[in-house]
Amino acid sequence: MRRLPVYLLIDVSESMAGENLRMMQDGLEQLVRTLRTDPYALETAYLCIIGFAGKPRTLTPLVELVQFYPPRLPIGSGTSLGAAMNHLMDDIQQNVQRTTAEAKGDWRPIVFLMTDGKPTDDIEPALARWTKNFASRSSLVGIGVGRHASLATLRRFTETVLSLDATTSTDFKRFIDWISHSVSSQSRSVSASQDKVVSLAKIDDDIMKKIDDIAKAAIVDEDFVILAGKCQTTKLPYLIKYERFAANFNVPGLKNPENYHLAGVYPAEQSYYDLSDERVLAQTISTERLIGSPGCPHCGNRFGLAMCSCGQIMCVSGPGSAVCPTCNRELNMQAGDEDFDVGRARG
């Protein structure tokens, strides 16, 4: 039987922490429930989920719908799109059967690439490999999630680029419905032996728009600051997200107009380090520009933005003795009025 391979290549970088990741997790379960009601999809569609941050990982290998179980989405540091695309191409090369003189292979794979940021690695080698060996035999749909996604980068890999503005759970469910209907439509298309062009469902104009011109693909700004902390008690990571004030937003008394306010703090699992970029964090930001002080989402310590001399952000309950969860150094923490520089995560 000829299979229709469907790949979901999902950005699980730090900027996805919180509501975006939760909606994506719920969306995978919704996707499977919907596709299992379609006899065409049940007969032909095989799903593969690949998550990528600083490193890519296959979360669910290519498997038929009846055996598919939505994986738990991890989170990591970085947005290594080049590495993710190479991982995808390796999987297609290894697991998608090509047509030979003796037998017909699988149908053309369809890939839904979802990202909310810009690459933190070199995409050029992967782009050259994709263009030469895979673009002509795969259908790639690039989806920029939110206003900070680098649509121009996606446009270099594929002509089919969509900008998604899903601000609520209802919006995101409509987006997942669109993916479900697109997979179902493609299943019917290949069943009729018409797989030359990807058959997508009608775009929901209220939450998505197609980017036809690369000039319309706006370059992302540094609208977020993400800091990676470590719980002193559990030694588990957590992510602190700050969002830049609007350009016309003035706060009396602040020294620097380019400031960021606290948007949330999110617990992460140990797997965060497995998917994170291991390169040294070269970019820093002064705490002078960060408005708002979070607590620890793991142990409840009141202060989540303390820093050891080794550079690790950690949580403390207040002034007094503490132990760095990274270097195990015993510290005497004191409250201070001076600002300090902290290393920014890659996002």
Domain ranges of the chain: 4-216, 224-343
CA-to-CA distance for 8 and 140, rounded, in angstroms?
Answer: 10
Q: What is the layout of strands, in order, in the sheet containing 290-291?
A: 290-291, 260-267, 237-244, 224-230, 313-316, 303-307
Q: Split the chain (347 residues) into runs of 10 and give each run's mean pLDDT.
A: 92 86 91 92 94 95 93 92 97 92 89 91 96 94 87 92 86 90 87 64 83 50 80 95 67 61 92 78 80 94 92 92 94 82 73
DSSP string, 204-259: -TTTEEE---GGGSPPPP--EEEEEEE-TTT--EEEEEEEEPPTT---TT-S-SS-
Specify the CATH class of 4-216 in words: alpha beta
Q: Which amino acid is at 6?
A: V
Q: Show contacts of 30-34: CB within 8 Å, 24+ apart.
A: 30/173, 30/176, 30/177, 30/180, 31/70, 31/176, 31/179, 31/180, 32/65, 32/68, 32/69, 32/70, 34/176, 34/177, 34/180
CB 332 within 8 A of CB 320: yes
* Residue 10: C-alpha distances to residues 87, 160, 175, 208 (Å): 12, 17, 14, 17
pLDDT for the residue numbered 206 = 83
pLDDT at 194: 55
Q: What is the CA radius of gyration of the chain?
A: 22
Find tokens 């550079």 and name the residue: 311
User: What confidence score (pLDDT) does residue 346 get?
Assistant: 61
Q: What is the pTM of this model?
A: 0.83
pLDDT on residue 306:
93
CA angle 313/317/323 to nearest 5° reads 55
- Please give the Cα distance from 186 to 76 (Å, whole number): 32
- What pLDDT does residue 219 have? 41
User: What are the Cα distances from residue 326, in Å, to 50, 168, 279, 306, 314?
Assistant: 29, 37, 17, 13, 9
Q: 318-347 b/e with 16+ CB inside 10 Å = b?
A: eeeebebbeeeeebebeeeeeeeebbbbbb
Chain Cα centroid distance, residue 250: 31
Query: What gap in Å lies between CA 28 and CA 26, rounded to an integer?
Result: 6
Question: What pLDDT is recorded for position 44?
Answer: 92
Tokens of 276: 């994170």
